[in-house]
Structures are given as C-alpha cells and as structure tokens.
Amino acid sequence: MNSASNTPAVPEVYPIEVAFPDIRPYAEGNTGIAYVYTFDSGKPGKHTMINALTHGNEVCGAIAVKAILDAGLRPRRGRVTLAFANVDAYLRFDPAHPDASRFVDQDLNRVWQAATLDDLSRDSSELRRARALRPLIDTVDRLLDLHSMHERSAALNVCGPLDKGIALARQLGTPAHIVSDAGHPEGRRLRDYAHFGDPASAANALLIECGQHWEAGAVDVAKDCCARFLLLCGNVDVGDIPVDWLRPMPARVKVVRVTHPVVAAGSDFRFAGPYTGLETFADEGSVIGWNQGVPVQTPYPDCVLVMPSLRQLRAGVTVVRFGQALK
C-alpha cells in the first residue's frame, strides 16, 4: 500500500464570502406550499421552475431566487415557479460548522424515486418536504436546480445521462463544462425524477454546480444561469433581465460523460492528491486514492475526475466520479 494512504488529507477551509439572506419573509409563498411561488402569465408557454436550497448550505441559489423575487420578474409567456427547498436545513446554518447544514435527516437530493416517496412508513424532514413539493414538480416542463460544490472548482452543468439533457445543456451554453451522469447509488436526484428522467417525455432538467459553496463568484454564475434558462425556455425577454446578471458566454462547451462513481466502502478513503475537480489523468491505471486501503485506479486513458470530495465521507457516499470527454 502506498504510504500516502495513511495520511489523511486536511480539507481546505474556504472563507464565507457572501451573506446568507433572511428568507423567512418568503415563508408564506403563494402556492399553498411554504417558500414556493408561482407566477402565471396567462399566455401559452412552458412551466419553468428554478429551485434553490436542495442542500441547506448551498446559498448561491437562495441569493439568486430571492433576487428574482425582489426584482419582481414575471413571465411574459408560460408559468414560472421559484422555490426554496430545504429551508429547515438552511435555517440551521452555523458559520462555525458550515458543512453541517447540508440536510437535517437525509440528503434531499437522494429521495426522488417513487418507491421512497410513496412509502409512508418512512419519514424524515427531507421526505416531508419532497412529498409537499412533488405535486407541483409533476407539472413542471423545465427545471433548473441550483447547487454548489464542496471544493473550489470550475462551475458544472450537470445534465443527467440522457441525450435530451445533453442537448438542453448545450442549448443553455453555460457553464463551459457539462457533466452527463446517472446520479448516485444512494438515491435519485431531483433532476432525474420521473418525467425529467424519462427519455420519452419532453420534460427536461439541468442541475448547475455554480462553484464552491460560499464564494462570491458562485452567485454570479447562479444569476447568469437563471436569466439564460428563463430566456431559453421562452418565459421572459432579454430586456426583462437585470442588466448586471448576464455574464460573457464561454467560447465553447465541453461534455464529460461519467462512466461510474467511486463509492466509499467506509470512513477510510484517501485521495493521492489535493483534487478539486476536472483533473485529467493521461494513463490508464493511475492511482488516485485508496478505498479502505485498496488502490483506486483510473479505468481508462484521459480519465477526468468529477467533483472529488471527502467532506461528507461515510460508507455509501460517492467521493468522486470517473468521466470521459466526448468529442
């Protein structure tokens, strides 16, 4: 065994560069669901949803959704829904323990399969919230789910495993890095739920990893993606967008298709280097870490690491994904 496997990596402590807004004034909503707003133009068009706070410590989405509400942005066509999802976790945020408020009882982004939602013998703060949101989400044509990452890395457009998701991500055109993957063994993500994950359905969804959780730049990415998504879906015109929201578009986008996740077998997982994401290994068989002492090797040449992190390390958690760049 490589001796480095016995040396625990110390996670970088990232500064909290943004203020966490008080969202309690938005508690009533206008849908009968707390913290959820829907605005209907009365004209034909898509039902587009922008969702924030799937994870309670991922503040950039909350800032962007609050800004849309505060700006009074309304659809010219179709219907727009704006949601703060895991509010219970968000309200527990403690700057001294900033990773602890990711969820209350379980990850809200791992419960979106019918068998779990329909099993009323199972209960958690997150399941109650998912069940409350579900009837509304069932009516959504286009979903933008705003997230951020444990480690500082380039923003990612996570589009799911289907061709329709890749096509939508290419149409949005930003961020520059698109990740096509099937999700996590722990459970289904919101962006893969039901009609979004059905290749026969016209419904579609994107998940944007806007940057590191608390960096100011992640807020800029979130606002830009919200604006461009509403434009792409035809709900608003460019003149409706606040002037400072749109960022320069990348010259090109690159698609990485994830082939499989690396799942921690227990609490003893070590990376061989300080990886944060998008590192590329030219050689097949490169050792990138150790899983309970067993070397973890790249399965093919030019392997890309997608979102490596040990901050939520426990048995069953995906700690990194292996990907291949598509031509």
Residue 267 has pLDDT above 90, yes or no: yes
Cβ–Cβ < 8 Å for 175, 154: yes
Compute how many other C-beta atoms are within 10 angstroms of the C-beta atom of residue 278.
19
Residue 40 has pLDDT above 60, yes or no: yes
How confident is the model at residue 7, as a pLDDT?
Answer: 46
DSSP letter at 266? S
Compute how many other C-beta atoms are within 10 angstroms of the C-beta atom of residue 233.
23
Higher pLDDT, 133 or 312: 133
**Domains of the chain, earliest start first:** 3-10+257-325 (2.40.50), 24-240 (3.40.630.10)
Nearest to 318 by CA among 224, 190, 195, 181: 181
Residue 239 has pLDDT above 50, yes or no: yes
User: pTM higher than 0.85, yes or no?
Assistant: yes
Q: Compute CA 82 distance to the chain's CA centroid, rounded to the nearest angstrom.
A: 16
Give the mean model confidence (pLDDT) for residues 40-45.
98
Give the whole-number percent of the chain exceeding pLDDT 90.
Answer: 93
Band of residue 1 on the pLDDT scale cut at 50, 70, 90: very low
Q: What is the pLDDT of residues 203-224, one digit of tens each?
A: 999 999 999 999 999 999 999 9
Q: What is the pLDDT of residues 140-187, one digit of tens each?
A: 999 999 999 999 999 999 999 999 999 999 999 999 999 999 988 889
Band of residue 2 on the pLDDT scale cut at 50, 70, 90: very low
In DSSP terms, which residues pair with 267 in a beta bridge?
A: none
Q: What is the pLDDT of residues 62-115, one digit of tens each?
A: 999 999 999 999 999 999 999 999 999 999 999 999 999 999 999 999 999 999
